[in-house]
Amino acid sequence: MIHSNYMVSEGEETIKKRKKMGYGEVTNLILEAIADNLTKMKSYPGPSLPVLLGNILKYVLEVKKQKIKDEKIKRTLHALEKREVIWIEKKEDEIFVHLKDKGEIKVAKYSLRLLLDFKKKQKKWDGKWFLVFFDVPESQRSKRDYLRRFLEQLGFYRYQKSVYLFPYECEEEVKLIKKIVEGAKYMKYIIADKIEDESEAKIFFQLA
């Protein structure tokens, strides 16, 4: 049985009324919560630390404004453990969630998005552009298409068909992308002081 000192209050007024979440959505939410905690602990990218179950539930309730039954969270955690994404450890009255190798890759995707979003919110743009470009062989089209979608989901701007850019330094994040996305081994990273037709990119990143 999984228990936590952080219980969901039935009278929580801040919770938005939404349709019930499926197990796939709950799984994604839990992985995102783990990524958020690891990012705040500055444990990503790098060896990950265990995350308190209570902190995961707190993120779900307070940050994402979602109220999910304890039983559904328990089942989702056990399913992730069975798939060898995580392993669960109980120490005295606390429950800790550890990532296994499969979990490292899955959570890294959420951590990347959080790290890049943080840079967009906290950093002042210095006028430089940080570009990634790639030439994935046509025989690996599915990997190329996945890489494009992945970069767009992370918040990169599509400058040309296989050229994406970001307004803040992101070399470490690009290195992590290369580790977790198969087609990314063809990706290159460059820094540009100026690019042509940058007005649309500036609007996209709200720099104009």
- Give the residue ranges of the annotated binding site for Mg(2+): 135
**Euclidean distance between CA atoms 28 and 26, whole angstroms:** 5
Write the DSSP symbol of residue 64.
Answer: S
Q: Which of 63, 65, 60, 62 is nearest to 26 (CA)?
A: 60
Contacts of 135 (CB under 8 A, 6+ apart): 162, 186
75: Cα within 13 Å, side-chain hemisphere: 10
Characterize 135-172 residue by residue with b for buried, 16 or more Cβ atoms within 10 angstroms of its Cβ, and e for exposed: ebeeeeeebbebbbebbeebbbbebeebbbbbbbebee
Residues of the binding site: 135
> Three-state DSSP class for 132?
strand
Q: Are 64 and 11 in contact (CB under 8 A)?
A: no
* Sheet strand arrangement including 86-91: 51-52, 94-99, 86-91
**Euclidean distance between CA atoms 20 and 136, whole angstroms:** 40
